[in-house]
Every structure is written in structure tokens, then in C-alpha cells.
Amino acid sequence: MNKTILLEDLGRKDYKETWDYQETLFKAILDTKIKNRREDLGLETQNHFLFVEHPHVYTLGKSGDLSNLLLSEAELAAKEATFYKINRGGDITYHGPGQVVGYPILDLDNFFTDIHKYLRFLEEVIILTLADYGLETERSPGETGVWLGVGTPFARKICAMGVRASRWVTMHGFALNVNADLGYFDNIIPCGIKGKAVTTLNNELGVEHVDEDAVKAKILKHFSTLFEAEFNSKKAD
């Protein structure tokens, strides 16, 4: 089993370009697995982890409801935002500047073949990362992601998650609101969940700005521990 993960920080990159890149990496892993099965070659499959920050964009998962987008095409253009229907699970979410977005593209045969466990581990990575900042966050029953104030009138989501998996290969991932502009969430019903707010790390800490590189470092530390993995940096093209 290969537990080395190739790490790339793509900086700020268009959503569709990043999605296409994910698909390329995803397909390469699938092709290797199919070839191994057909020809019994025993070739090693790669694992990838992409950090990225997107320009303003709304994405709707395959089970999502388009009515949860509260903007017309003209209003999207006025806000310099784009919209895509995509092939992950979940409903609608927003990505934009000030978010730390992570896309693990893993062959879970290298780790464990359990999608439920995989999602819980992703949540735990974020929960442990936010604990490093003194925040007590948690899961909300039946709702993937990481929250504060679950069970109170002040429940608020700080990290959204949605993944796709085929033959135990994953793509898409999580979006942690670090310094994001929460005004953009007013244009959707986030994740299709009414009556619950969204928050950011800098708001919860009462500071103007949180160092996003420091957040990424903490995420990688907890990810490597939980997944018993090692990261190797790969320079983006």
C-alpha cells in the first residue's frame, strides 16, 4: 500500500480548471487500478492532495436543488461569480477568496475502504485543526461538515464537505471558511439547510485576519496522523 500523498498548492485557480485537473488525476488512478485488475500487474497507485483558493463560485452537487441558488444569471455576473453543477455529493455551496479548500484524491485501497470512515476522518481533521485555535467544533447529526453551536439557536457551519468516490478513489473534499466574505452565502441556502448560519475562523476568533498558510500546515499535520500518511510536495505546473 502506498501511503505517500503528493501535495500541491495551486494558489488561486479557476474552479473549472481545478475540477478538470482533479478529473485527470482521478482518472489516472482509476486506469491504473483497472489495468492491475485485468493484467495482475501490481502497479502502485498514487495519492494526491490539492490546496486551492477559488474566485467566487457556487457549486451544486448531484443531489442538490437548484432552487437553493437565489441568484439569476445576471445577478451572478454582477457579483463576478460563476456557477457549476458538479459530480460530488451534497447540495449547494460557495467557494471564494479567504477559504482554504482541500481536494484529497486518494486511492482508499491504500488506507481503508470505508467511505463513511473517510468522511468522518475529514471532519476530524478540521475539528482538530480548529481545536488548535481554541475552538470547540463538532459534527451535526445527519449533516456532513463541521459546525459550532450544534443544538443551540446559534448553530453555524464553518466547513462544508462533499466528495465523489469510484472504485475507492476519491475526489472533491472540504472548504474551510478562514477569512471568507460571508455576504456571498446570503445568495444561497448553504448545503440546502435552512435556518442555520455560516461562520468563519477569523470571526470566531474576533480577529481581522488568520494566516491561511498556518491553517494549511495544521490541516496537513492532522491529516497525516489520522491517515498514517506522508506528504511529499509537488510543485504546480
What does pLDDT average to over the chain? 92
Range of weakest confidence among 111-115, 157-161, 169-173, 181-185 = 181-185
Selected residue with higher pLDDT from 92 and 118: 118
Cβ neighbours around 64 below 10 Å, total: 21
Annotated binding-site members for substrate:
88-95, 160-162, 173-175
Summarize the annotated binding site as residue ranges.
88-95, 160-162, 173-175
Measured in residues, the chain has a length of 237
CA-nearest of 19, 165, 170 to 82 is 19
Distance CA 88, CA 153 (A): 29
List, in order of start, the domains of the chain with CATH numbers.
56-100+112-228 (3.30.930.10)
> pLDDT grade, residue 63 (50/70/90)?
confident
pLDDT in tens, 169-227: 999 999 999 999 998 888 887 555 555 689 999 999 999 999 999 999 999 999 999 99
88: pLDDT confidence band, cut at 50, 70 and 90?
confident
Active site residues: 191
Q: Are 120 and 101 in contact (CB under 8 A)?
A: no
